[in-house]
Structure 1
Amino acid sequence: MLATPIYLICSPSPHVGKTLIARIMSEFLFLKHGTALSLDVNLNEPSLVDYLPNITETADLIDTYGKMQLMDPLVIHDRVPKVIDLGFHAFDEFFKLCEEVGFIKETARRYVAPMILFVSGAERISLRKYEMLRRRIPPASLVTIHNEYVLRGGPCEAMHGDRILRIAALPPFLNRYIDRLGFSFTEYLRNEKDWSTELHQWIRQTYSMFRDLDASVMVRSPFRSRGTDIDSLRYTRAD
């Protein structure tokens, strides 16, 4: 049977561009599949729910009820791709919970395919937590995100042998532009006719990278027949 994909965007470090990556991944999945669910586990504002309120739900790990509200949708084979924007404050608690409930085994049993997208930081804690995930997560399900705007020197050497996706750095004025609450990556591609603009190229490059990543999950995914037509952009706006 084919699987439902889940993308967990996480980092133990603040200010590494995690929510930006969750935003663009959420919009890409909505564009590709025509449906998506994003779960926002953050304390900071603005957060993912502020950017994509129509496809995002908030969650927390404060008590047993909150934990179950977060975990229950993640083990359902409902053919809806999911993105979790996990705040750095919840990093340890979430993976502790995953161990307690046997999340990896449970998702495999229920035909759900989780992908852990670890956003690398410059602090020593980033390497420590990455090594922890290495011991717990199957190699095919763990990907390092190198956000070049935040981490100019690249991930530490210990991560170089593993799978790394690089998000190219944009100039500061374009970063401020895409940080606006009303900004949509997909709508920009639809409305900006000049494909040579730096932002247009950046979005297309990032969407193409996520398309390739999603294809590795689509081997077991029910969305294989839909494909991704980034050029035509025929689907409905995500936000």
Structure 2
Amino acid sequence: MSSTPVYIVCSPRPLVGKTLLARLLSEFLLLKDGTVASFDINLKEPSLLEYLPRITETADVMDTYGKMQLMDRLIVNDGIAKVLDLGFHAFDEFFKMTHEIGFLKEALRRRVAPAVLFIADTDRVSARSYPMLQEQIPQKALITIDNEYVVRGELPAEMGMGQVLRIPALPSFLKTYVDRLSFSFTDYLRNERDSSTELHQWIRRNYTAFRELELSLVPQRQ
């Protein structure tokens, strides 16, 4: 059996588009594979659970029981891709935990392939957190997300050295549209006949980028 991917979408900062990215990725994997397991670790609403309740469950890393439950789900090579929407409040605790229990080594042993999708920002907290991830995460598994809505300009140099996935900024009126709880990216692709619309092209571009990211991780997962 090939390795099972686990995508950890994270940032130590709020309001950087983390849940939006987790939604996009979850819908892409559901469209491609027919199944996905998503986990929501957030304090504030709206959350991934509200957007995708059928494929999402809540998780907690602030107590031992919650940590064990989550790790038991993430460490299984069952062929079902996992997406973790890691709230900024749990960022430090989560990576402290994964380091202490040797999550990456155990994942490799069990043929599970974690990929950390770190949403870049220019603030001090992000600048301090990124080197910590570099020490823990193999370069191939640490993906910098350049959300143009957040980083308006060049990425910090140290965050652009590895693999970078760029998310183009949406106009404000379209962002308001996709932020509705009832909105589905895949349903929009299926139902909007005009493929030249800006939103249609934005979704397709991101889905294509996810597919290329997945293919780049294949050698790691074999």
Shorter-chain TM-score above 0.5? yes
Structure 2 contact 40–48 (Cα < 8 Å) conserved: yes
Structure-to-structure mapping, 1:1-239, within 5 angstroms: 1-219=1-219
| Whole-angstrom CA distance in 2 between matches of 1:195 and 1:145 | 25
Post-superposition offset of 1:62: 2.2
Structure 2 contact 118–142 (Cα < 8 Å) conserved: yes
Note the alpha carbon deviations across 1:19-75, whole angstroms, 9 max, x for none.
Answer: 000000000001111110000000010100000000000001121111111111111
Aligned amino acid, residue 213 of structure 1: L
Note the alpha carbon deviations across 1:99-146, whole angstroms, 9 max, x for none.
Answer: 111000000000000000000122111011001101111111000001
Which residues of structure 1 form unaligned runs of 5+? 223-239
Where is the helix percentage greater, Structure 1 or Structure 2? 2
Which is worse superposed, 121-130 or 152-161?
Answer: 152-161
| Whole-angstrom CA distance in 2 between matches of 1:206 and 1:19 | 15
SS at match of 2:169: coil
Residue 221 to residue 131, structure 1, CA distance change in 2 (3 Å):
closer
Structure 1 contact 146–154 (Cα < 8 Å) conserved: no
Aligned amino acid, residue 64 of structure 2: T
Post-superposition offset of 1:160: 2.1
Note the alpha carbon deviations across 1:168-195, whole angstroms, 9 max, x for none.
Answer: 0110000000000000000000000000
Structure 2 contact 6–82 (Cα < 8 Å) conserved: yes
Post-superposition offset of 1:157: 1.5
| Whole-angstrom CA distance in 1 between matches of 2:107 and 2:221 | 13
Structure 1 contact 61–94 (Cα < 8 Å) conserved: yes
Aligned amino acid, residue 11 of structure 1: S
Give percent identity, aligned residues only. Answer: 59
Note the alpha carbon deviations across 1:59-103, whole angstroms, 9 max, x for none.
Answer: 011211111111111110000000000000000000010011100
TM-score by length of 2: 0.97
User: Which has the higher relative contact order, 1 or 2, with Cα contacts under 8 A spaced 6 or more apart?
Assistant: 1
Which residues of structure 2 form unaligned runs of 5+? none
Aligned partner of 1:234 in structure 2 is none
| Whole-angstrom CA distance in 1 between matches of 2:71 and 2:154 | 32
SS at match of 2:150: coil
Structure 2 contact 2–79 (Cα < 8 Å) conserved: no
| Whole-angstrom CA distance in 2 between matches of 1:185 and 1:61 | 29
TM-score by length of 1: 0.90
Aligned amino acid, residue 177 of structure 2: Y
Post-superposition offset of 1:150: 1.7
- Give the root-mean-square deviation of aligned CA atoms: 1.2
Aligned partner of 1:232 in structure 2 is none
SS at match of 2:217: helix
SS at match of 1:153: coil
| Whole-angstrom CA distance in 2 between matches of 1:154 and 1:118 | 16
| Whole-angstrom CA distance in 2 between matches of 1:160 and 1:63 | 34
Aligned amino acid, residue 116 of structure 1: V
